[in-house]
Structure formats: C-alpha cells, structure tokens
Amino acid sequence: MNLFWFSLRMLARDWRAGELRVLFVALLIAVASVSAVGFSVDRVDRALHRQANELLGADALVVADHPPAPDVVQRAHDAGLKSAETLSFASMALAGDKNQLAEVKAVSENYPLRGELRIAQQPFAPEQRAQTIPPPGTVWADARLLSQLALKVGDVITLGATQLRIAAVLTHEPDRGSDLFSIGPRLLMNLRDVPATQLIQTGSRIRYRLLVAGDAQQVQNFRAAVTPLGPGEKLEGVEDARPEVRAALERAKRFLGLAALVSVLLAAVACAMSARRFTARHLDNCAIMRCLGARQSTITRIYLYQMLALGLMASLAGCAAGYAAQGVLTGLLGQLMAVQLPPPSLMPVLTGVATGMLTLLGFVVPPVLALKGVPTLRVLRREIGLPARGVSAYLFGAALFILLLLWQAGEVKLGLYLVASTAATLALLATAAFALVRALTLMRGRVGVAWRFGLANIVRRASGSVAQIMAIGLGLTALLLLTLVRGDLLASWQGSLPQDAPNRFVINIQPDQLGALREFFTREKMPPPEVYPMVRGRLVAVNGTSISPANYADQAARMIEREFNLSWMAQLPGDNRISAGRWWSDSASGEHALSVEEGIAKTLGIALGDRLTYNLAGQEFTGVVTSLRKVEWDSFRVNFFVIAAPGTLEQYPASYITSFYLPDARQPLLSALVKSFPNLTIIDVAAIMTQVRGIIERVTLAVEYIFIFTLAAGVMVLYAAIQSTQHERLHDGAMLRTLGASRWQLLSGVAAEFVVLGFLSGLVAAFAASATGYVLAERLFHLPYHFNPWLWLMGPGLGAVGVGVAGLLGSVPVLRHPPLYTLREV
C-alpha cells in the first residue's frame, strides 16, 4: 500500500470530519502571526534603516584619504547606484582682519543622497529645505562661523586663494560627523570651486567620501564588488552611524524582535494544546487500526505524513494570511507612519514556513507520534489510555523550541532571556497548578453541587488541568506583558528622552568664565547649567608600551589618532552603569583611578587593571582602569569615554562643558551667548534628537501594530486551552442534563471550573509578567522598571472573566442540543 496516499486520504477524511480544523487553525494563526510580524518587521526595519541612512546621507559610503579610484566610481555606476562625492578638510576662513578655523566640506551634485540640507536666510531664522547644493562661487556657512567672523549672508569670505560669497546659513546637514565635540564651524561649498582655493596640496589632511544609494540588493552588490578596498579606504554603512541613533535602533530591533518572539512562543503553546486534543481524539482510531492489523511503524508513518502535509498547507496558508493581514494593517497605519514602507521581501515566507514546520515538529509531532503506543486492548476497554510518557518527548520539543527562539531572536542574549523566562514561567505555572489542583481536592466537600462538579472536573483531569492552567497562564502572561509591560517599557523609553532634554551643548568654557556664564543664565532666567571639567589628551601608552595608530585596526586607529576628552567626578553619572570593576568611593580620591566606557575599551582592547598613559598638553599622566562603564548614548547627556577619580587631573589645563535645554522661543539667547562669550562653541543637537525621537515614535507605532498579531496568537492559546477539554465537557454536560441538571446548575458548574482556572492562571501570570517585565527592563532594554499594580488586578480579573466567558460560550452546545445528540456526537 502506498502509505503516503493513504495518509492523504485519511487526512482528507479527518478534515471532512472536522478533526483537524483546530490544529490547522492554530498552526495557521501561528504562521500568520509570525509571518505578519516577519513581513512587518521586515518592512518597518527597512524603513527604519532607510531613515537611519539619512544620517549617513547615503546607504553606504567609501571613505578614503585620497580621491575615490575611478574603478570604484565605475562599480557604483555599474551597480545602478546613485552617487555623490564630498571632500572635507579644515582650513582657515578669513573675513577682513578676522580668521577662524573652519571645517570645510565640498560637495558634488546629488548630495545628499538620503536626507536633506536645510538653510536659512539669517542665523536662527526659520529654515527651509535646500533644493540644490551651493552654486559655484557661493558657500553656505553655519551660524557659529558667521558669528565668529562677524559676517552676514551676502558677505564675502576668503578661503585659500579664492573668495566666495555667503549665500545662506546652513542649518542642517544629514551626515554631520560622528563626533559632536571635534567639529569646528561648518562651511559648505561646491566641489567645483575646490581647485580655485589651491588648498589641496600634497600632504593635506583631506577625507574623501563617495556616497552611494539604491535598493538594498544594489548596495549589497556594490559592497561585495569593492571589497577588499585599497589601503586608506573604508566602507561605512548605517551600522557606523552616530552612537545615539545606533543605540535607538538597537532598542527598536529588540522591541520588534520581542514582539515576534512572543508570538512564536504563543503559537507553539496553542499548537501543543491542539495536538494534545488531536491525540486524545485519535486514541480510538489508532487502537482500531492496530486491531485491524496496522503495525506501529504504519501508524507512525500515517500520522507523520498527515502532520507534514497539514503543516505545509497551514504554513503556506498562514503566510498568505500573514501577508494579507500586514497589507491591511500597513494600509491603515501607512498614514500614521511618516515614511513610505518599502515592499516586503520574500524572506518572511521562508521564515514563516520554517517556523510553522519547526513548531509542528517540536510540539505537534511528538504527542501525535505517541499514538503508535496506544494499547490495542483499548478496543475492548476504553478506559485504557496512552502509557505515561517520559520527559524525553518534551525534551525534543524544548530543544527545537530553544533553537527556534534563538534563530528568531537573531541575538543570543535576547533569545536566552526569553528561553530562561519561559522556562521559569512554566516551572512556576506548573508548581502553582499542581498546588492548586491539590488544594481543590480539599475544597470539594465544602461547596455546592455546581461548584463541586466544576472543581471535581479540574481535579479529575489533573494532568490535563495542569497543562490547561500552564497554557492559559502563559497566554495571559504574554497578554499582560504585551499590554501593560510593553506600555511601561515604551513610556520609559520615551521618558528617557523627555521634551526638555538638553538640546544644546556648550564647550570650550574657560575656568574663569564659569561665574560669568552662571550669571548670564540667571540673567536670562534660565536654570544655571551643570558644568563638567574636560581635559584633552591623547592615549600614548598602554601598560607602559607605547602605541601608535599603526598597531590598531581601522576604527581603533582613528580613536588613537584623535584626542580624548577626559573628565573627573566623584559620583557616577545617573545614566551610566558599572559593567565591570568598581566605581571609586569618596575615600579613594587621589588615586590615579580611571573608569572607561565599555565600548571603547572593547575597541581598544583595554581591560580592568590596565595602565593607560595619556599625553595631556605635553605632560604624561598614567592611571589604572578600575572600572568599565556602560553609557546610554541616546540619553543626550554629557558623557565621557574616560573619567578619572577626583584629585588626579585638576592640575592639567581644563576647559568646561555643559548642556542645556533651549526652548524654540528662546533662540535669540544663542546670539547673546555668543556675543558675551565669543570663544564658546555651541553645538545644536536638536536635529539629531528629533531624529531619535522620530525613531522612538515609529518603533512605538510598529510595536503597537505588531502587537495586534501577538494578541491574536494569545487569544488562540486561550481558545486552544479551553477547546482541549471541550469534548469531555460536552459529554459530561449532556450526562448531567440527562440526570436532570438544570441549565443554571450546568452553567454554574462550567463557570466554576473556568473562573477558577482563569483566576489562578491570571494570578500566576501577573507574577510572571511582573518578573519578566523587570528582567526585560533592567537587563535587556536598560530602562528603569516601574512596578505596575494593574498587572495584579488585570491578570486574575482578565483570567477569571475572559476564561469564564469563553468556557461558557464553548458549553452552549450542551444547552442547545438534546443530550442524546451530544452523547452520540461525542
């Protein structure tokens, strides 16, 4: 016999008989939610990526210390990419008897490829989008440069051997360098004017950039075609964007990843519950087939083929449903999202099908395949069920599931957190469920007939009830996590960048100006800003060994080349956390202790206990690394890579840095500030903050959007859990009706069973959601955790009411149909 075809025929028969629908729908919703999440994450991710690309002004760029090689330009052209060139250097800009070192950037047509340039007609006047680049013979200068040279729009500025007219004030350029504090005032000019300046000489320190943009595949092709690059050349993508934006994107991915993972988790639980039911409903069939001569291997193959066929169909249907669902929702949300979402890629289909099949293999196939072990004697004695299974059947599922989570998480840490919290939640749920079932045994004698029947049902199906409570609890945990905890986390995230977060940095404050600056702010009725000392220095030796950029790879080499800002302080800044070692105590001041930011320590290979020697204005200073810090760069507060203990750096020449919040209405204050303290450099980070806020807002929307699917998966778990005992309940109900139970008694019994199940699952879920929320906030998202008392009301309340109502609705057929019909039917 061709077992495969036979299985398919059995599948068709089972399908007709309605035996497979619940499982199919569970799997379909699983894959639909996963693929809808996948499609959405894919699209949103790419939209976010594109937005982040604005910060590069391109999708990728080649940075070099020489003009881009013709073949690299040709490759960009061949790949179908748009391209633009820039070169930047520092040069003295002259106006009358004044001069100022300016950061000059010369750009070609098409610049920028992503994002936009914005200009204004005078400093701090309303800005507008620039349609072109500065025409030849003109430049755009930023407000700082104009103020320092006492120039206005229309004046002429001398740059090298040429004179250029200032045509506008530059207010925004998308790819403003990656280090806020090392940028001088900006002068933007046309690339065609560069030869006339005669500033490009052998030995000039010039950075050439070739910007490219196109679709993801074209960029990928270009990246592949130009690698390996020649000496002095470097390829940068969005990963190399500003640390603030990178941190925001990291969090964004985690939020989205988490939403996707929770739906995978829920889907698996729904499938496992459906599979339990399927197995229970097929015990008789298998016993009869065994009795009619089917071998164990025949049973195994019949069900394996069936499940694989079912899984494939459900997965494909789920992908289609997921695609349709995300299409509708993206249509709805398209207006809310400021950017056009790019079309989805095919990857989520593969992910969806793979997730569906893995879920099936891990959670449906093991219980279904256990059917082969059904004792044939069941045909004579119906009470004989499946022999108790060991843990091994679940181990396979658990192992597959961990792999699935790690794969979906795309990140080991997130995956492991999820695995650990799921395992902990399940263990907690199982313990609580066992205790509950035990406790109910004692309660039975003390309640009325309806409640006794309901409670007795829970106790009678002890192992089933435990599984039910675990599934309902897990479903509720996920729902609570996604509604309340998610809201809290997003609020915390938005709260991490409040509206009045500092949006201007002021550097180069001299020690003797501190008093006058404070007076200035008081006079202007602004809160006096907090100032931090800053000493500039170059790292020259590690553990007594001299270092030079040549010893280090690209990024590290650049870090060694430039000067660091070192500071000293007694208290650890609020948004910094010690990740290794210890922060100094008050008594320890005077020691040459250093605290280094974790990221830079990793890049430079610095470990705790290393001795770092800095050249500070010609003098050498050596300190020992006693701690590593994690810095929240997207907090936009003043932060330092290296902090020294108080009493170590005071003797070196220092300047001060501060940051403050400037409301839009107080713009004129900047001119007054520059006039009073001409040496100060004011850095405007409002534009970058707006960009980060934009990302946060969009991610919040995206998470809300993806949440709908996860919610559907959660509801499906509850449905499957309730459904898993549906037949037994219908049968029992019909029996009770036959014995004369009233409608009210019957409903009370069912209500008692489900309200108790729901209440206790909800209680456990509230605990699990609180604990998971805490771990997620503290460990994964690095956001402050706020205890939410609503969890403890919503969990048990939602559980009791929701599960109670669902259970009652599921029992309506008992009341509607004559008992005999129900008895025969089930």
Q: Which residues bind other proteins (CB under 8 A)?
A: 1-2, 5-6, 13-14, 16-17, 19, 284-285, 288-298, 375-377, 379-382, 824-825
Report d(CA 478, CA 714) in Å as an integer.
Answer: 7
381 versus 446: smaller Cβ distance to other proteins: 381
Smallest gap from residue 19 Cβ to other proteins (A): 6
279 versus 648: smaller Cβ distance to other proteins: 279
304 versus 702: smaller Cβ distance to other proteins: 304
**What is the three-state SS of 115-126?**
CCCEEECCCCCC
25 versus 682: smaller Cβ distance to other proteins: 25
Smallest gap from residue 297 Cβ to other proteins (A): 7
388 versus 391: smaller Cβ distance to other proteins: 388
In the three-class reduction of DSSP (H, G, I as helix; E, B as strand; rest coil), residue 497 is classed as coil
In the three-class reduction of DSSP (H, G, I as helix; E, B as strand; rest coil), residue 541 is classed as strand
Please enumerate in sequence order all residues whose Cβ is within 8 A of that of 232, keeping only pairs 6 or more positions apart, or say none.
Answer: 64, 65, 66
- For residue 502, give Cα distances in angstroms to 508, 635, 672, 700: 17, 9, 19, 22
296 versus 603: smaller Cβ distance to other proteins: 296
Smallest gap from residue 9 Cβ to other proteins (A): 8
Q: Among positive and negative, which fits the CA dihedral 100, 208, 191, 117?
A: negative
- For residue 446, give Cα distances in angstroms to 441, 462, 490, 746, 747: 10, 19, 47, 18, 19
| H helix and E strand count, the chain | 25, 22
11 versus 260: smaller Cβ distance to other proteins: 11
Report d(CA 288, CA 46) in Å as an integer.
Answer: 54
Smallest gap from residue 275 Cβ to other proteins (A): 17
Smallest gap from residue 370 Cβ to other proteins (A): 15
6 versus 124: smaller Cβ distance to other proteins: 6
Host H or E run for residue 301: helix 296-334
- Buried b vs exposed e over 359-386: b needs ≥16 C-beta within 10 Å? bbbbbbbbbbbbbbebbeebbeeeeeeb
Report d(CA 716, CA 32) in Å as an integer.
Answer: 12
4 versus 661: smaller Cβ distance to other proteins: 4
Smallest gap from residue 770 Cβ to other proteins (A): 45
List beta partners, residue 128: 119
Smallest gap from residue 776 Cβ to other proteins (A): 45
Smallest gap from residue 705 Cβ to other proteins (A): 40
66 versus 295: smaller Cβ distance to other proteins: 295
Report d(CA 319, CA 524) in Å as an integer.
Answer: 61
Smallest gap from residue 825 Cβ to other proteins (A): 6
Smallest gap from residue 2 Cβ to other proteins (A): 7
504: left (phi over 0), alpha (psi -120 to 50) or beta: beta
- For residue 256, give Cα distances in angstroms to 263, 467, 488: 11, 29, 15
Q: For the chain, how big is the Rg over CA atoms in Å?
A: 34
Smallest gap from residue 822 Cβ to other proteins (A): 11
- Buried b vs exposed e over 291-304: b needs ≥16 C-beta within 10 Å? eeebeeebbbbbbb
Are 289 and 300 a contacting pair, CB within 8 Å?
A: no
Smallest gap from residue 741 Cβ to other proteins (A): 24
By DSSP bridging, strand 593-597 and strand 619-631 are: parallel
7 versus 138: smaller Cβ distance to other proteins: 7
Please enumerate in sequence order all residues whose Cβ is within 8 A of that of 329, keeping only pairs 6 or more positions apart, or say none.
Answer: 36, 40, 705, 708
Smallest gap from residue 294 Cβ to other proteins (A): 5
Report d(CA 610, CA 393) in Å as an integer.
Answer: 51
Beta strands in 40-127 (DSSP E): 60-64, 82-95, 98-107, 118-120
382 versus 743: smaller Cβ distance to other proteins: 382
29 versus 283: smaller Cβ distance to other proteins: 283
Are 36 and 326 a contacting pair, CB within 8 Å?
A: yes
